[in-house]
Structure 1
Amino acid sequence: MSPSQSSDPIVRFVEETIGDVFGPRQRGRVGSDGASHREARLVPLSIPAGAVALVGVFSAQLIELVREGPAGAAVQRWLTTAGDWRVLLVFIAVLAGGFDVLRFFASRHRTALRNRILKTTQCAPTSVRVTLLPGKLPPSLWWPSTRAPRRAVARFESGTVMDSARLTTLRTAVKASAGPGWDMQVSWDAPRERIVITRTPVSASLATAGSRSPRHRRLETSLARSPLRDSMIEAIVDKSIGQPDAREVGYRVDFSPSLAIGDRNVQSKLEGALREILGRHPSGRLWRFTWQLGHDAGDRTRDGESARLLIELQEALPTRIEHVPPAGLAELTGHQRYQIPYGVGVGGKIAVWDISWKSNVPHALVVGPTGGGKTTVLRAFVVELVLRAVTVLAVDPKKIELDGLENWPGVTAVVYTLRQACELISAVHAEMHARLDWVHATKIPNTELPIFAFILDELFVFSGMVQRAQKSGDKVLSDWVKGEDPLGKLADIAALIRSAGGRRADGVQRPDAYIYGEAGGNARDNYGTRICLAKLSPDGAYMMWGDSTIGREVDTSIPGRSMASNERGDPFGVQIVWTPDVDDHPNKWNRLSEEDRAIVTALRPTSEPVFVAYSREMRSFLTRLGRPYETPDVVDGVVSKPAQMPARDLSLGDRLHHVDDDGVTKVTGIVSKVRVTESHVYVDLVSDARPRWQAEYRLDEYVDADPLGSDDNPAPLDDE
């Protein structure tokens, strides 16, 4: 059938619709092998079947017309038979008509698919087979199913190589041509050199093109200019939500994988950009991104070859979780005992600070503004630590945050002033080295050392106090602080204390490295457990998580809401447990509600762990504070003698046990002269090993000495 030159649009439409199907055999395109691939003309079966059925239906009238003819008897017998079978003939004609309709649509799809494959892949298929039967579909979808083939197979010449980028273009074209309601899967079967296309109905939970929201359209526009520009996007809709702009609760993005998308940094940047584009959901819940890449992604995507980005709303977190004592703690041993819970994440996942010996992230960093909830997190840490027989040393430069823990069982010391804080830091630093010396001398595994925690709240405030003291006009104070070097020792503690059984937690307002001093960057990197209770700027997110695009969204309107690192170091939403102030002072206790009092009472430990001090400095410090401590068991005689007096109290004739600056050499001498200044004590000593030598001590430093006249240093007998 040649194209019509008619000006009638209806005539042209009819000829263009059925001309290439019922018309003459069309000349096909030439493939790469030089052969011409042509579509056969569709011969309708319904026309002859319908003609025969009409003869059967009108057989009585036709018999009257042919009764007088020469062949009337024979024709009459044939018409009579047709009339007797007219019901069956009509049924066959109807079946033939329906079959022709399917053949018509199949031929249309076959022609369109052949042209689509040729234009997108530049490869001409040798044959295209299309199946249109509805299959396992509800009757309501039988007619709509003719819009897309149920299955189509396009075969190619031997040796055909399919370009992945062109296949992606074909996939996009096929999915677009199917229209709403159908999910088309396009895959390349390389061993059999064919393209297989299958059809599945789109779930009712997926949005149609006509129901796309402005957020959906923004997402499509943005992804078109991103590494996912060849993606197909479908919105997951919850129609039970009454608010129209809140019904889209997720998006499914199928795309062709690439090496760039496999980079976690690229994924993080895309996630950050998509969060900004999607904006805040009316429900207040945050967006969660799941990348499905690799061999297992094909089972979840529609064509078996795409990768998928699943964008979903996170489950809602509870707004308040009361701190309850852990159940079955007595039965927990080893690694499980030292999982310190502090909050609940999405899906009821417990957020923990792992302080066990197996943990490679034993230190915690808590970030938040003043009043943001840092103290609540640290208080939860302390309560849980003591319940697990872990002693606690703490510094509170603000004097009002951790003071309630001072008399809590298992809290060895809480200090507040600059001098006390510097002395405690020096004592912890010395304790760390003394424990390592102990392990070296006794050859006992360090995993047998008792674990303790060192907590410093408001590190920014303490760092400011140190820097102001160093720049102050008080030369004695400035020199003393510089000699103590608390920030430098804090950096050493963060790097080395894990091996000595120490665990550290810091509360800061911003995760800036400079507050740790010159070694700040390396010190901060030792904090694997990170908790943020504030909305971060891109710079803050980079300092906190190592990526400026993640972990920035925190709903600060809900007390205790935070982002915390999981076992992989990635941030996830956590609701911090509520731990009331445990101070039993009447002015605080009487202000607590009955519920909070019950929480504190339930959390109070029944036994009090005692700090085991390995170093002379730590024992001296705790002695001055009047705090209890224990000494380690003697192993092969390796234990240092407790300090007995401050250096300023030394007098002539005392026996002094001095340790040289190398920290190893020990020399005992008799005090022959003492000179005391405003900050130091200078002592002249005499011994057999060294005829005359001098030692220098801080004014308040405690020393190992046997006073003259003591049992260990009796006074010489009077010759008279």
Structure 2
Amino acid sequence: MNASRDPVKDWVVQQYREIFGDSATARGGKQVDSDGNPTRIGRFTPTSPVAVAGAAAAVYAPRLLPTIDGNETVTAVLTQLHGYQWPLAAVAVPLCVVDVSRYRAHKSTRMLESVVRQTTGHLPRKVTVSLAPGRRALRRATITLHPGTVIRPKAFDELTRAIEETFPEHGKWEVRVKHEAYKNRILVTRAEIIPDTRSSRHKALQAALDAGAILKDAKVTVDSVDENGVETGFKITFEPSMNSGARGFQAKVDEALASLAGVHESGRTWTTEWTPSQGHLVMRLVAAMPTRVDHPLALVDEDLRHLPYATGAADLTMFWDVSTSSNKPHCLIVGPTGGGKTSVIRTLLTEATRRGIPFVGVDPKMIELDGLEGYPGCGAIVYDALRAAMFVRALHTEMMARNAYIHHKKIEGSQLPLMIAVLDEFFILSGKWQRLAKTGDDETRELLKELDPLGAWADLAVLARSAGIRLLLGVQRPDASLFGGASGNARDNFGTRLSLGNLSQDGALMMWGDSTVGREVDTSVKGRGIALGTDGSPVDAQMWWTPNVDRHPNKWSQLSESEKAIIDGLQPFEAPEFTCYSRELAEFIESERALAKQAREHGDVLEPIVLGDRPIGQSAATDDDDVADAIPASAVTEGMAVLIDDGQGSEVPVTVEAVTVIRDKGTGDVLETTLSINTGGRVKTNVHYGPTDVVFLPAPDRLPATV
């Protein structure tokens, strides 16, 4: 039976080891401690015991003399020591203090050596700790490594955490660890703890950047504060990389930083300015987006070839550059009914006319641009679908004539006067052309085939820029048929693009090249949308409000005095001249003006027949635009209601049960669309559409209702 362990003995041994440590023994030519771990630190040897023993003998000599009576030598020594008791005590006390400091330094040395060995796998060449290490935190320690010692970042992080846990913060002090690889050493120093006075927003930004590997070595500092000391700007420095120069990467970082910073106390939002070449970005507050901006009467942009139309983030003025040198010559506006598309068109056209640029427009709904008919600088507004096809062909002829004039006269295109051609509700017009091509009389079908308005439009989108013709296109929804290979890369030519309301995922990808842009627009604010900034990136924008410029009493009486003042202030003093270089366009505009004059003087419409409390044909909606819309057949989705020809010359509403779109494998262009519908029987009916065919909707495609 084994004898029980003596707790007193164990305590004494433990205290001995705590004070003096284990003796280092040699194994295979190397020193190891009692646990067999390699070490370069020997046993602690105190120097004070001899001085303490001598001082104690001197102090207690009178008591010891009677016990050694008869030994004259010892008696003489004790007697002499007793005479030096105070000097000996004065020497023993500082030696004890030095030994306590040496012991604490020795203990810290052993701990540091053990920590370095366990975390990095390297045995230090030498560990030096200051003799005054402080109560708990080290004052200074130098860990000398062997030349060429490599410490991986992960191992160094573990070493730093281990040292910080071994010597935790105490009072106002903390331990700092620094690796000087070029000197083959690790420095452990004591630093005063600086109170963290950063705001919660500042801490959140720095913590997120430290936790993720988005920006390397990112540091957040306060760039500016308001009068209350609240941060209004942050500067983030980082190590430049390939990612930091990519716009897509910057956009994702901007979104993350704005989310982390949260809504500012002032209600303003955050914007970010990148300088990747210098390794920093600045977050600043910008004014909150306005909910309405009335069309300013002053020329906001002094450049007469810049047509402003909206206020963007950071109070930027968005404009359409119609100059000959512009890389954004044509403008595309996308937005459902009620989103403010018509107001943007009025804004651009009124800005154009007071800068001396005339326009001519096509309005298949007969209500979008009617107020602009007769406006200074307006050549004509075309409403009839067949005459619209004639106009597009005449405009194509004008383009060719202008190019021939430039070639013959050896002049620059910038010397020709500009003109703007507005084609609103493109898909409705396209649908009417297709309907006429199928149901029209022989003469109409033959004329449409000869005019080929869709082919002429595709040429205009690509070639009109150099001839001084600018295209303004309005559609309900974006579609690949506007931008695909069949349109000659028209998307690049429609460099000025803006969308109102929320886009679908495919629509956002087609408009902005990013499936996330324009999908969370605040539709409760009329005129809110996305516009293409001067740097080519989409930004939030509030479109300017321009009232209907129609001075007909029925329209004019509905306007407020401030709205009338806007119209009066925008009207140019002198109407821009409309210069044609082709006889075809000149004759078409003259004939259209004559037809419009005749309609105004002799035309008439039937008065509504009142049944109950609402006239026939009057909708309960308050919007002017109550005409059914048209969309490309490829944009139809399952469950959508569309109008289908019943074979007897009428169109009936049906619900689409399935949609099949066949695309070109190389370009992705639509080749054919098949809509499956159920007409009431067991067998489904498949209706096939070509790549550019459109379908009509039973009701206008409106903005979604907001709560």
| TM-score, normalised via structure 1 length | 0.59
Are the counterparts in 1 of residues 332 and 474 from structure 2 also a CA contact under 8 Å? yes
C-alpha spacing 1:294/1:281, structure 2 compared with 1 (3 Å): closer
Q: Report the residue type matching 1:478 in the other structure.
A: R
C-alpha spacing 1:289/1:617, structure 2 compared with 1 (3 Å): same
SS in 2 for 1:577: strand
Equivalent of residue 205 in structure 1, options 195, 199, 205: 199
CA shift, 1:295, in A, is 5.8
Q: How many aligned residue pairs are there?
A: 552
CA shift, 1:283, in A, is 10
Are the counterparts in 1 of residues 306 and 322 from structure 2 also a CA contact under 8 Å? yes
Q: Report the residue type matching 1:296 in the other structure.
A: Q
Determine whether 1:296 maps to 2:278. Answer: yes
- In the alignment, the residues of structure 2 paired with residue 39 and residue 498 of structure 1 have an alpha-carbon distance, to the nearest angstrom, of 84
Once the two structures are superposed, what CA deviation does each residue of 1:259-315 show, in whole Å capped at 9, x if it has no partner? 67876567768989x799999979999997869796633x67xxxxxxxxx999975
Equivalent of residue 555 in structure 1, options 517, 522, 541: 522
Are the counterparts in 1 of residues 20 and 43 from structure 2 also a CA contact under 8 Å? yes
Are the counterparts in 2 of residues 321 and 577 from structure 1 also a CA contact under 8 Å? yes
Q: Report the residue type matching 1:390 in the other structure.
A: I
Are the counterparts in 1 of residues 116 and 159 from structure 2 also a CA contact under 8 Å? no
Are the counterparts in 1 of residues 117 and 124 from structure 2 also a CA contact under 8 Å? no
Once the two structures are superposed, what CA deviation does each residue of 1:401-420 show, in whole Å capped at 9, x if it has no partner? 11111122122222111123
C-alpha spacing 1:536/1:72, structure 2 compared with 1 (3 Å): same
Q: Report the residue type matching 2:278 in the other structure.
A: D
CA shift, 1:542, in A, is 0.8
Q: Report the residue type matching 1:549 in the other structure.
A: T
Are the counterparts in 2 of residues 541 and 547 from structure 1 also a CA contact under 8 Å? yes
SS in 1 for 2:198: coil
Equivalent of residue 576 in structure 1, options 540, 543, 562: 543
Are the counterparts in 2 of residues 367 and 508 from structure 1 also a CA contact under 8 Å? yes
Q: Which residue number corresponds to residue 583 of structure 2?
A: 616
- In the alignment, the residues of structure 2 paired with residue 167 and residue 292 of structure 1 have an alpha-carbon distance, to the nearest angstrom, of 32
C-alpha spacing 1:342/1:258, structure 2 compared with 1 (3 Å): same
Determine whether 1:443 maps to 2:401. Answer: no
Are the counterparts in 1 of residues 359 and 378 from structure 2 also a CA contact under 8 Å? yes
Determine whether 1:323 maps to 2:272. Answer: no
Determine whether 1:493 maps to 2:493. Answer: no
> Which structure is higher in RCO with an 8 Å CA cutoff and minimum separation 6?
2
Q: Report the residue type matching 2:199 in the other structure.
A: S
Q: Report the residue type matching 2:361 in the other structure.
A: A
Once the two structures are superposed, what CA deviation does each residue of 1:388-442 show, in whole Å capped at 9, x if it has no partner? 1111111111111111111221222221111231222122211111111001000
Are the counterparts in 1 of residues 482 and 490 from structure 2 also a CA contact under 8 Å? no
Determine whether 1:481 maps to 2:448. Answer: yes
CA shift, 1:476, in A, is 2.0
Q: Which residue number corresponds to residue 400 of structure 1?
A: 367
Are the counterparts in 1 of residues 116 and 122 from structure 2 also a CA contact under 8 Å? no
Q: Which residue number corresponds to residue 643 of structure 2?
A: none
Q: How does 1:18-29 map to 2 (within 5 A)?
A: none
- In the alignment, the residues of structure 2 paired with residue 391 and residue 197 of structure 1 have an alpha-carbon distance, to the nearest angstrom, of 77
Q: Which residue number corresponds to residue 696 of structure 1?
A: none
Q: Report the residue type matching 1:414 in the other structure.
A: I
C-alpha spacing 1:326/1:464, structure 2 compared with 1 (3 Å): same
- In the alignment, the residues of structure 1 paired with residue 353 and residue 79 of structure 2 have an alpha-carbon distance, to the nearest angstrom, of 117
- In the alignment, the residues of structure 2 paired with residue 6 and residue 376 of structure 1 have an alpha-carbon distance, to the nearest angstrom, of 97
Q: Report the residue type matching 2:578 in the other structure.
A: F
Are the counterparts in 1 of residues 40 and 125 from structure 2 also a CA contact under 8 Å? no
Q: Which moved more, 1:472-481 or 1:260-269?
A: 260-269
Equivalent of residue 492 in structure 2, options 515, 525, 540: 525
- In the alignment, the residues of structure 2 paired with residue 101 and residue 554 of structure 1 have an alpha-carbon distance, to the nearest angstrom, of 70
Q: Report the residue type matching 1:494 in the other structure.
A: A
CA shift, 1:514, in A, is 2.4
Determine whether 1:544 maps to 2:511. Answer: yes
- In the alignment, the residues of structure 2 paired with residue 362 and residue 151 of structure 1 have an alpha-carbon distance, to the nearest angstrom, of 68
Q: Report the residue type matching 1:360 in the other structure.
A: N
Are the counterparts in 2 of residues 110 and 128 from structure 1 also a CA contact under 8 Å? yes
Are the counterparts in 2 of residues 392 and 455 from structure 1 also a CA contact under 8 Å? yes
Are the counterparts in 1 of residues 19 and 103 from structure 2 also a CA contact under 8 Å? no
Q: Which residue number corresponds to residue 650 of structure 1?
A: none
C-alpha spacing 1:398/1:608, structure 2 compared with 1 (3 Å): same
CA shift, 1:357, in A, is 2.3
Q: How does 1:335-484 map to 2 (within 5 A)?
A: 336-484=303-451
Once the two structures are superposed, what CA deviation does each residue of 1:357-387 show, in whole Å capped at 9, x if it has no partner? 2221111111111111111111111111112
Are the counterparts in 2 of residues 285 and 314 from structure 1 also a CA contact under 8 Å? no
Are the counterparts in 2 of residues 560 and 578 from structure 1 also a CA contact under 8 Å? yes
Are the counterparts in 2 of residues 168 and 230 from structure 1 also a CA contact under 8 Å? no
- In the alignment, the residues of structure 2 paired with residue 105 and residue 392 of structure 1 have an alpha-carbon distance, to the nearest angstrom, of 90
C-alpha spacing 1:435/1:321, structure 2 compared with 1 (3 Å): same
- In the alignment, the residues of structure 1 paired with residue 395 and residue 311 of structure 2 have an alpha-carbon distance, to the nearest angstrom, of 32
C-alpha spacing 1:419/1:204, structure 2 compared with 1 (3 Å): same
SS in 1 for 2:489: helix
Once the two structures are superposed, what CA deviation does each residue of 1:328-350 show, in whole Å capped at 9, x if it has no partner? 87xx4xxx331221111221111
CA shift, 1:488, in A, is 1.4
Are the counterparts in 1 of residues 529 and 542 from structure 2 also a CA contact under 8 Å? yes
Determine whether 1:514 maps to 2:481. Answer: yes
SS in 1 for 2:411: coil
SS in 2 for 1:507: strand
C-alpha spacing 1:485/1:406, structure 2 compared with 1 (3 Å): same
Are the counterparts in 1 of residues 109 and 127 from structure 2 also a CA contact under 8 Å? no
- In the alignment, the residues of structure 2 paired with residue 296 and residue 459 of structure 1 have an alpha-carbon distance, to the nearest angstrom, of 46
Are the counterparts in 2 of residues 207 and 235 from structure 1 also a CA contact under 8 Å? no
Are the counterparts in 1 of residues 320 and 496 from structure 2 also a CA contact under 8 Å? yes
SS in 2 for 1:325: coil
C-alpha spacing 1:604/1:6, structure 2 compared with 1 (3 Å): farther
SS in 1 for 2:559: coil
SS in 1 for 2:333: strand
- Residue ranges of structure 1 left out of the alignment (5+ in a row): 28-34, 56-60, 134-141, 241-246, 301-309, 628-720
Q: Report the residue type matching 2:320 in the other structure.
A: W
- In the alignment, the residues of structure 1 paired with residue 397 and residue 349 of structure 2 have an alpha-carbon distance, to the nearest angstrom, of 23
- In the alignment, the residues of structure 2 paired with residue 403 and residue 183 of structure 1 have an alpha-carbon distance, to the nearest angstrom, of 77
Are the counterparts in 2 of residues 538 and 548 from structure 1 also a CA contact under 8 Å? yes
C-alpha spacing 1:385/1:475, structure 2 compared with 1 (3 Å): same
- In the alignment, the residues of structure 2 paired with residue 151 and residue 521 of structure 1 have an alpha-carbon distance, to the nearest angstrom, of 72
C-alpha spacing 1:339/1:155, structure 2 compared with 1 (3 Å): farther
Once the two structures are superposed, what CA deviation does each residue of 1:125-153 show, in whole Å capped at 9, x if it has no partner? 7689999x9xxxxxxxx99xx99x99999
- In the alignment, the residues of structure 2 paired with residue 367 and residue 189 of structure 1 have an alpha-carbon distance, to the nearest angstrom, of 60
C-alpha spacing 1:573/1:112, structure 2 compared with 1 (3 Å): farther
Q: How does 1:189-200 map to 2 (within 5 A)?
A: none
| TM-score, normalised via structure 2 length | 0.59
C-alpha spacing 1:472/1:385, structure 2 compared with 1 (3 Å): same
- Residue ranges of structure 2 left out of the alignment (5+ in a row): 26-36, 65-77, 595-707
